[in-house]
Homo-oligomer: A and B are copies of this chain.
Amino acid sequence: MNSLTEENYLKAIYKLVDGEKVAVTTNAIAEKMNTKAASVTDMLKKLSDKKLINYEKYYGVKLTAKGEKIALNIIRKHRLWEMFLVEKLEFGWDEVHDLAEQLEHINSEKLVAQIDKFLNYPKVDPHGDPIPDSNGKLQIQKSALLSTFKKNEVCMMTGVVDHSPTFLQYLAKTELTLGSTIKINDINDFDRSLQITAGKAKPFFISNEVAKNILVSLK
Number of residues on chain A facing chain B (CB within 8 A): 17
Bitwise interface map of A from 101 to 115 toward B, beta carbon under 8 Å scored 1, else 0: 011001110110011
Q: How far is the CA of A99 from the CA of B85 in the complex (A)?
A: 18
Select one of B90, B99, B107, B110 contacting A108, CB under 8 A: B99
**Residues in B whose Cβ lies below 8 Å from that of A170:** none
**Residues in B whose Cβ lies below 8 Å from that of A111:** 85, 89, 99
Q: How far is the CA of A95 from the CA of B114 in the complex (A)?
A: 13
Within 8 A of B (CB), among A43-95: 85, 88-91, 95
**CB of A204 within 8 A of chain B?**
no
Closest chain B residue to A107 by CB distance?
Answer: B102
- The answer to whether A108 touches B118 (Cβ under 8 A) is no
How many copies of this chain does the complex contain?
2
Within 8 A of B (CB), among A92-138: 95, 99, 102-103, 106-108, 110-111, 114-115, 118
- The answer to whether A102 touches B108 (Cβ under 8 A) is yes
- The answer to whether B114 touches A89 (Cβ under 8 A) is yes
**Residues in B whose Cβ lies below 8 Å from that of A85:** 111
Select one of B88, B103, B106, B114 contacting A90, CB under 8 A: B114
Closest chain B residue to A102 by CB distance?
Answer: B106
- Sample (18) of A-B pairs whose CB atoms are under 8 Å apart: A85-B111, A88-B118, A89-B111, A89-B114, A89-B115, A89-B118, A90-B114, A91-B110, A91-B114, A95-B110, A99-B106, A99-B108, A99-B111, A102-B106, A102-B107, A102-B108, A103-B106, A106-B106
